[in-house]
Structure 1
Amino acid sequence: MSGESVLVTGGAGFIGANLCRRLCEDPDIAEVRVLDDLSSGSLSNLDGLPVRVHRGSILDTDALDAATAGCSHIVHLAAVPSVPRSIVDPVRSHEANATGTLRVLEAARRHGGLHVSLASSSSVYGSNPAIPKSEDLQARPMSPYAVSKLAAEQYAVAYAECYQLPVLPFRFFNVFGPLQAAGHAYAAVVPAFVSAALAGKPLQVFGDGHQTRDFTFVGTVVEVLRAAVVGSVTAGPTNLAFGTRTSLLTVIELLEAELGRKLTVDHLEPRVGDVRDSQASSSQVQSLFPDVDAVPLKDGLHQTVEWFRTL
């Protein structure tokens, strides 16, 4: 696919900027573009990268068309993340995540049927108690965020059926790593833990800490996304995680081992909309991307701590 151009929506954000860095290293990718309204991302995340930045919203058709024209692939990562944020402002989550995805798919269709990889979420499984979570399980979303992500991925599936649009929706599971912000009320758990630990503050755990997650290092995620682009891989909704199941208390223990000291933990009331346990079935992603090896949680935490030390 030499000479191809890839648009990353939300490319100035955490996952997007990591992906842009990886795409810029790939000899098969001729051009990397970014569309981002900078509502949560930062241009500083793209410092030194030869990317073409379009500042604008995925809800703006003109901005989308300008960024998409001449592209062959879209990796759609732009979103308003966070379950708690969606509970406070469900309309904003829906407009960005569901309506925004619909507009991206329409842009892909207008510009010649571009290949679209997009970010859904493990939150779509919601209250379904089955472990591990396989892609054929019934979705039981527990929050407006989860509903908006389910709508986004199902729009992609429908566009594949109705318009033969080549798509690949990924269900992300607790992605963490460098560039992930910690300094806000809706920060993800790993950056929140690392930031607090390095600052000598108590780590806040909502609930007993025995809830489990399938933590996935951002380096693993971008390797899969890159392979999806280069191979123009298409499929139905696919878990982007590798079948690990780690409690928050275990993450704290690993962080203590990394830092060489005991950490203080404050237990708070459980949050509405939070899933108790999450673990992916990884058979589908491993079948589609057999050459990708997942970075172990311990190694990913080390890289994350090292990045936070540079701030």
Structure 2
Amino acid sequence: MEHKQLTSKNILITGGAGFIGSNLCEKFLAQENKVVCLDDFSMGRQENIAHLLENPNFKLIEGDIRNLEDCKKAVEGAEIVLHQAALGSVPRSIADPITSNDVNISGFLNMLVATKEAGVKRFVYAASSSTYGDHQALPKIEENIGKPLSPYAVTKYVNELYANVFADLYGLELIGLRYFNVFGRKQRPDGAYAAVIPKFIGLLMEHKRPTIFGKGDFSRDFTYIENVLQANELAATTTNPEAIGQVYNVAFGERTTVKEMFELMRSLLGKYDEKINDIEAIYGDNRQGDIPHSLASIDKAKTLLGYSPQYSFKKGLTEAIDWYWNDLK
């Protein structure tokens, strides 16, 4: 299946100053697109997009997806919407379910309404592997999900339900991408809800011991940012009618335990700073709402989208650590 490059389009990227969104902005600006970034900077960071502000093909709209008027303003003239804006983190949603619901469900609905009213057809949105909930079978197959285990998981599942309804009622071309533990450049190591990989890298660089929840035998299908960029481009450009109106796992299709992740990370960082090789992790209690194991089947994305992830966990982590060492020192 031919991989079509996304070029010469007007693209709206919501959450475009965030980790994944800013990487998408960079990629598609480099491919001669016009990019509008909508972000309220609750999660996104000015520094992620500061170098793009001088680009005449880049426009920043500071706004909130919870405000329908902001959504309508942002979607004007767009041909494709890449919806990344959300409040991530399972623990955050457990601590504050109302805000997660407002942003992830009401904000999502606002974006769908604004997209429909503007006459934009293609809407690609960030879904989540958390949707699999308590379904225990591995690998995770898109059609088989369980009961959600957190408010965050509920919100991301509701997004998929709304997407189906808007596709059926209004003819929108909606494609959901269920991200599996995405990591890479621009993902911040600080804050109470930092993802595990940047958080551990940040701690090790400071010669601090990270805490692993449980015995370290929980496993994840850690997915490097480059694989996610590829999936978004494929979803934005596909002309395969069977591929539209679907949700897809976006992952590499291999799982790594948290203990293995820590050990590989330590050895890669140890090449830059020998003292890191001697740091041991602390082991604590399991964390509420955590899924024990996560592994994606990526057969559907391969078959219908032509998805072909190029970055294994080790290859991605090697590149990510190089970025952190050079950009965060």
Please report the TM-score for the alignment, with normalisation by the length of structure 2: 0.91
Shift of residue 236, structure 1, vs aligned partner: 1.4
Q: Output the amino acid matched with 1:297.
A: F
Using the TM superposition, give the Cα deviation of residue 296 of structure 1 relative to its aligned residue in structure 2, in angstroms: 1.3
1:272 — aligned with what? 288
Partner of 1:308: 324
Deviations 1:120-172 (A, max 9, x none): 11001111111000001033210000000000121111111111110001111
- 1:167-246 matched pairs, under 5 angstroms: 167-231=174-238, 234-246=244-256
Whole-Å separation in 2 of the counterparts to 1:137 and 1:291 = 20
Identity of aligned residues (%): 36
Match of 2:24 among 19, 26, 36: 19
Alignment-mate amino acid for residue 271 of structure 1: R
Q: Spell out, residue by residue over 1:260-286, the C-alpha distance to the aligned partner (whole angstroms, 9 max, x if none).
A: 323320111111100000001110111
1:32 to 2:32 alignment: no
Deviation at 1:301, TM superposition (A): 1.0
Tell me the distance in 2 between the aligned counterparts of 1:198 and 1:178.
Answer: 16
Tell me if structure 2 keeps the 8 A contact 1:120–1:149: yes
1:47 matches 2:50: yes
- SS of 1:169's partner is strand
Question: What's the CA shift for 1:45?
Answer: 0.4
Structure 2 match to 1:5? 10
Provide the TM-score with structure 1 as the length reference. 0.96
Matched, 1:155 2:162: yes
User: 2:107 & 2:245 partners in 1: Cα distance?
Assistant: 21
For structure 1, the residue ranges without an aligned partner over 5 or more in a row are: none
Shift of 1:227: 2.3
The size of the alignment, in residue pairs, is: 309
Instruction: Answer whether contact 1:71 1:114 (CA < 8 A) is retained.
Output: no
Aligned mate of 1:64, from 57, 66, 71: 71
2: CA distance, partners of 1:84 / 1:219:
26
Partner Cα separation in structure 1 for residue 189 and residue 161 of structure 2: 30
Task: Report the CA distance between 1:291 and its aligned residue.
Answer: 5.5
The 5 A counterparts of 1:128-167 are: 128-167=135-174
Give the conservation status (yes or no) of the 8 Å contact 2:139–2:294.
Answer: yes
3-state SS in 1 of match to 2:114: helix
Question: Which secondary structure state, in structure 2, belongs to the residue aligned with residue 47 of structure 1?
Answer: helix
2:319 counterpart letter in structure 1 = Q
Q: Is the 2:234–2:307 Cα contact (8 Å) retained in structure 1?
A: no
Q: Distance in 2 between matches of 1:291 and 1:234?
A: 14
Superposed CA offset, 1:177-197 (max 9, x none): 010011111111111111111
Asked if the contact 1:119/1:170 (under 8 Å) is kept, the reply is: yes
Query: Distance between the aligned counterparts of 1:2 and 1:308, measured in 2?
Result: 29
Q: Name the structure 1 match of 2:91.
A: 84
| Stretch moving more, 251-260 or 145-154 | 251-260
Residue 253 of structure 1 aligns with which residue?
263
Which residue of 1 is the match for residue 273 of structure 2? none
1:13/1:40 contact within 8 Å kept: yes
Q: Which runs of 4+ in 1 moved over 6 A?
A: none
Contact 2:252–2:312 (Cα < 8 Å) also in 1: no
In the alignment, is the contact (CA less than 8 A) between 1:19 and 1:226 conserved in 2?
no
- TM-superposed CA distance for 1:113, in Å, is 3.6
Distance 2:175 2:46 in 1: 27
**Counterpart contact for 2:123–2:175, Cα < 8 Å:** yes
Which residue of the other structure, out of 128, 131, 140, is the alignment partner of 1:121? 128
Q: Distance in 2 between matches of 1:35 and 1:92?
A: 19
Contact 2:252 2:311 in 1 (8 A): no
Root-mean-square deviation over aligned CA pairs: 1.4
- Do the aligned residues in 1 keep the contact of 2:234 with 2:306 (CA within 8 Å)? no
Q: Which sections of structure 2, spanning at least 5 residues, go unmatched?
A: 1-5, 271-276
